[in-house]
Amino acid sequence: MPNKAYAKIPGLVALLVLLAFLPAFLGPYSMHMMILVLIYVVIATSWNILVWTHQISLGHAAFFGIGAYTGALIYNAWRLPPYLDMLLGGIFASLSAVVLGVICLRMAPWALAIATLAFAEAMKVLVIMLPGLTEGAEGVGIPPLFGGGEAARTKAYYLIFGIACLSVLLAYTLKRSKLYYAFTAIHDDEDAANMLGINPTKYKVVAFTLSAFFVGIVGSFYAHYIAYIDPHAAFNIHISVEAQIMPLMGGLYTVAGPVVGAFILTLLGEYLRITIKTGYLIVYGIILVVVIFYLPQGLIGLAEKWVKKR
């Protein structure tokens, strides 16, 4: 795993500085878009971690929703500080990942894929069917983060910026850790990894749990930021789909890939949603197919090839 950090550091610093000063230049709508971008940076980066063990989750929205509902319901009940609330969202999401993972990760990748898809749908059903606990289909309202208004939006922006940086840092650290050896071994050849002393299920569950944690946190963040959450928004298949396409497009086995994908696709998605309206997801489908056939290393892989040619 060659270390190209030296080349990337100036670019990274520039990006961080730009992002840090963004609120000074942008109006409310653009700020809102950037907040969404950063939410997706977290979701895409987190989803990607699981891929490193050759597993995919088709229902990552489940963790988003669990975080969102945990955050909203606990906040309404006990008025905990929002940061703690968000952390709890992450913890609950991780716990459900552990349970789901232990059950499904003993089997081939497709098992988890289908199970996570079903899990997301099942969570939606659960929330709708227990209005006593969750207000059902009507959704839950909570006081807006930091009191609402434009000043609050800027604060929310810095908060999500911080969370995004942490989640990317997690991915970065993970990729350079001993754990990554286990992940990659399992990814490339699970039986061989087993024969070298690696317990595949254990490490797959670890990856799965890590991939759920920050997603739960941003779910809770989202509920606070929008001041409202309902089952269709929380467990929306759209979130799951974006979680997959962004890293795929950017580059699955990189740290920068999901970030790049999140930036491009959030903005592209918004653009499409406004212009095409119905059926705009078709573009996502086309991107998926094209990337799988022609761009398996994603955009980052493409960029690396160009750099090598020079």
**Can you give the binding site for another protein, defined by CB under 8 A?**
1, 51, 54, 56, 58, 103-104, 106-111, 113-115, 117-119, 121-122, 125-126, 128-129, 178, 181-182, 184-185, 187-189, 191-200, 241, 244, 248, 252-253, 278-282, 284-289, 292-293, 296
Q: Cβ 225 to another protein, closest distance in Å?
A: 27
Q: Shortest Cβ distance from residue 273 to another protein (Å)?
A: 12
Between 143 and 285, name the residue whose CB sits nearer to another protein. 285
Backbone angles phi, psi at 179, to 5 degrees: -55, -35
Q: Give the Cα separation of 186 and 261 in Å (integer).
A: 25
HEC readout, 274-291: HHCCCCCHHHHHHHHHHH
CB of 36 to another protein, least distance (A): 20
Residue 279's φ and ψ, nearest 5 degrees, are 75, 15
Least Å distance between CB 121 and another protein? 6
**In the bound complex, what is the minimum distance in angstroms from residue 214's beta carbon to another protein?**
21
Calpha distance 187→248 (Å, rounded): 16
- Whole-number Å distance between alpha carbons of 276 and 247: 24
**Which is closer to another protein, CB of 88 or CB of 117?**
117
Cβ-based nearer residue to another protein, 163 or 210: 210
Give the shortest CB-176-to-another protein separation in angstroms: 10
- Nearest approach, Cβ of residue 199 and another protein (Å): 5
Minimum distance between the CB of residue 32 and another protein, rounded to whole angstroms?
Answer: 25
With respect to another protein, which residue has the nearer C-beta, 23 or 121? 121
Kindly tell me which of 32 and 232 has the beta carbon lying closer to another protein.
Answer: 232
Distance of closest approach, residue 41 Cβ to another protein, in angstroms: 20
Pick between residue 73 and residue 117 the one whose CB is nearest to another protein: 117
Which CB, 165 or 288, lies closer to another protein? 288
Identify which of residues 23 and 109 has a Cβ nearer to another protein in the complex. 109
Smaller CB separation from another protein, 26 or 295:
295
DSSP assignment string, the chain: ----HHHHHHHHHHHHHHHHHGGGT--HHHHHHHHHHHHHHHHHHHHHHHHTTT---S-THHHHHHHHHHHHHHHHHH---HHHHHHHHHHHHHHHHHHHHHHHTTS-HHHHHHHHHHHHHHHHHHHHH-HHHH-GGG-EE-PPGGGSSHHHHHHHHHHHHHHHHHHHHHHHHHHTSHHHHHHHHHHH-HHHHHHTT--HHHHHHHHHHHHHHHHHHHHHHHHHHHTEE-HHHHT-HHHHHHHHHHHHHH-TTSSHHHHHHHHHHHHHHHHHHHHT-TTTHHHHHHHHHHHHHH-TTHHHHHHHHHHHH-
